[in-house]
Amino acid sequence: MNSRFFLRCPARLRRGLLITHLATIAALTPVALQAADHGDSPLLGAIGRNDAKLTDLHAFTHNGNLVIALSTNPAIPPGVEDYLFPSDLTLQILIDNDSRVRFDDPNDLAEFGGTIAKPAMIRPDIVFEIKFDRSGEAKVSASGLRGPDKKQVRLFAGLRDDPFIRAPRQGRNVASIVLEIPLSAVIAKQSTLLIWATSKIPDVQGPICEHAGRALRSMFAENDPMNTLRPRDHFRILGVTPDVMIYDTARPAGYPNGRLLTDDVVDLVGDPRILANDAPFPSVNDREFLADFPYLAPPQ
């Protein structure tokens, strides 16, 4: 069929030829496994809002400070040198600093970093909300912190090398937020924190349109409902262990206790569905991380 034939076709026939716009709903595509959080929440891709996707969440301590890195947008074209965060995007980093966590169940310890004693009671005690003005500049507001501590929040927002240690992501960039705050400002009665992050855009109803907790959980198709629910509702509604990152700050960080930038979670989790696409199985990031703030490697 040549283009001239195509142009002569009756409209009904022409409509029959046009296929590319038929299936923007990603549910029609089998979930091609995109590791970390890079490919979950297919709805966001379907409505053209990859910018609201959360790709990775890292948490560790450095010189007495808590560092949390949240990365977004797996679809930034290579070669792009600047990134404008959309002004209708809201990101939140949430911390529950008083839910009791046990470390006596070896299975939970290995899979989740511990056992949350009352998963239905998980609630954020501290919320960092990041919004962007019309020039893309990030503004962070913090609730649950003491007044003087709010002034100690250090913020980075911008284009960074994708910190996900995975072959298909080499050479790619993401849009990242990095927060650094004295650990003493977020610790209450215990050393253990539950950490998670969400994104929100007006087009998607409800308080959450994407969720990130422990690496390589909510990205699986069977866990996609986690992405629109609060962690306590993962337990109450879905009946599963809430997807949060457990981080006992009294112990060294490293998956599944928090997550270091250098953690090769693909290998550490070892799910064959993820390993399948990882050849040649890198164990370090393709760009060296920085020793100091903002820690993430510069963009490629």
Partner 1 sequence: MRAVNPCVRVGMILVIATGFSNLGIAASTDRAISRYEAEVSRYPERYPVRVQLADALLQKARESHDLTVLEQARRELHLSLQTQPTYEAYLTMARVQNYSHHFDDAIKWARIAEEASPIEGADSAITAVLVEAYLGLGKTADARELLPISENEPTDYYIAASLAQCLRAEKRYAEAADAFLLAGKIAKKANVAALVDWAEWSAATVRSEADHLH
Q: Does 39 bind partner 1 (CB under 8 A)?
A: yes
- 187 or 221: CB nearest partner 1: 221
88 contacts partner 1 (rule: CB under 8 A): yes
Using CB under 8 A, pick the residue from 8, 13, 188, 298 that binds partner 1.
13
d(Cα 249, Cα 295) in Å, to the nearest integer?
18
| 86 binds partner 1, rule: CB under 8 A | yes
Q: Kindly state the smallest distance separating residue 118's Cβ from partner 1, in Å.
A: 28
Rounded to whole angstroms, the Cα distance separating 299 from 77 reads 12
Q: Rule CB under 8 A: say whether 117 interacts with partner 1.
A: no
Quickly tell me which residue has 């379907």 as its tokens. 46
Q: 266-290 burial by CB neighbour count: b if 16+ within 10 A, else e?
A: bbebeeeebeeebeeebeebbbebe
How many residues belong to the site for partner 1 (CB under 8 A)? 62
- Can you tell me the distance from the alpha carbon of 157 to that of 159, in angstroms, rounded to the nearest whole number? 7
Listing DSSP states for 165-215 in one string gives --GGGTT-EEEEEEEEEEHHHH--SSSEEEEEEEEE-TTS-SS-SEEE-ST
User: Is 25 or 290 the residue whose CB approaches partner 1 more closely?
Assistant: 25
280 binds partner 1 (CB under 8 A): no
Residue 138 binds partner 1 (CB under 8 A): no
d(CA 224, CA 217): 9
> What's the min distance (Å) between Cβ of 198 and partner 1?
14
The correct pick among 190, 191, 277, 300 for binding partner 1 (CB under 8 A) is 277
Q: Give the nearest distance from C-beta 194 to partner 1 in angstroms.
A: 24
Near partner 1 by CB under 8 A: residue from 106, 147, 148, 202: 202
Give the three-class secondary structure for 61.
strand
Q: Kindly state the tokens that stand for 96.
A: 């529950």
Q: Closer to partner 1 by CB, 248 or 278: give it.
A: 278
> Per CB under 8 A, does 78 bind partner 1?
yes
**Binding of partner 1 by 204 (CB under 8 A):** yes
Nearer to partner 1, 3 or 107 (CB): 3
Give the 3-state secondary structure of residue 3. Answer: helix
- Residue 156: partners with Cβ closer than 8 Å, 6 or more residues away: 176, 177, 178, 293, 294, 296
Of 92, 96, 103, 135, the residue at the interface with partner 1 (CB under 8 A) is 135
Q: Which residues bind partner 1 (CB under 8 A)?
A: 1-3, 5-7, 11-13, 15-25, 27-30, 32-35, 38-39, 43, 45-51, 53, 74-78, 80, 83-84, 86-88, 134-136, 168, 202-206, 209, 228, 277
